[in-house]
Amino acid sequence: MQLSSVVDRLDEELRTDDYADIDASANGLQIGPEEAEIERVAFAVDGVRETIDRAIDADADLLVVHHGLSWGGFDRVTGRTYDRIAPLIENDLALYVSHLPLDGHPELGNAAGVADLLDLEDFAPFGEHGPEYIGQRGTAADPYAPDDLCDRLETDLETGGQSVQHLDFGPDEIEEVAIVTGSGTDWLDEAVEAGADALVTGEGKQAVYHEAREAGIHVFLAGHYATETFGVRSLQGLIEGWGLETTYLEVPTGL
């Protein structure tokens, strides 16, 4: 399959252009020729030297990641940036990136994956970011005891052996859950306004402790990496359906 065809199909499914003005990430094809034949695609959360090297070792023609290399452009291609870009070009490995479009996608997205993991129902968009949403909220099929929800996250997420942090300030039963993966505590007030009993995200900020305590809501910090494996894995399944060989590169950070 031609690289341009893969890129066009991904951009259409993920509505890449709709996020152009609100995402610091340069989503879409970041590195690669306009035309190339693609047979094998690698997937990873982070576009870093380790995943680039492993994609090259796997003889991949395209690496698809959530966190790419260009965040507002490059001033200079030196140092760490050069060390990441050079092997891509030298080995004809194209790089496709989907950041916020892959966070909020209602079926393929990271938040949708966490919602599925928690058996939530009645999904609705959550996490307003300009005109778009980057998260999901839903209702637990069976209400969770707070410790049980924490255990579910620790057991089923790729946390790198780290514990899920739980700010235990909400009700004894959790029914309504809001999700913004990665760094999502800025959406705590929106979760409260939506009537959520809990906000599930990846990493926190100092202020969220007192904000959650004063609002009476649970916050689960399950790891930035751990909450953002779902999107690229979903894209892997999508692209396998297009007849391409795929491989997933698991590099958990524990953060």
DSSP 71: B
Domains and CATH numbers, the chain: 3-99+228-248 (3.40.1390.30), 103-224 (3.40.1390.30)
> What pLDDT does 160 receive?
86
Task: Say what the pTM is.
Answer: 0.96
List, in order, residues 6 or more apart from 220 with CB less than 8 Å away: 149, 150, 153, 164, 165, 166, 167, 198, 199, 200, 201
pLDDT computed for residue 2 by the predictor: 96
Q: Is 121 annotated as a binding residue?
A: no
Whether 224 has a binding-site annotation, put simply, is yes
Q: What pLDDT score was predicted for residue 181? A: 98
In tens, the pLDDT along 52-74 reads 999 999 999 999 999 999 998 88
- Residue 210 is assigned to a ligand binding site: no
pLDDT value, residue 148: 98
Calpha distance 95→178 (Å, rounded): 31
- State which residues of the chain have pLDDT below 50: none
13 among annotated binding-site residues: no
H/E segment holding residue 45: strand 40-46
**Residue 142 near residue 184 (C-beta atoms within 8 A):** no
Query: What was the pLDDT predicted at 102?
Result: 98
Would the annotation count 66 as a binding residue?
yes
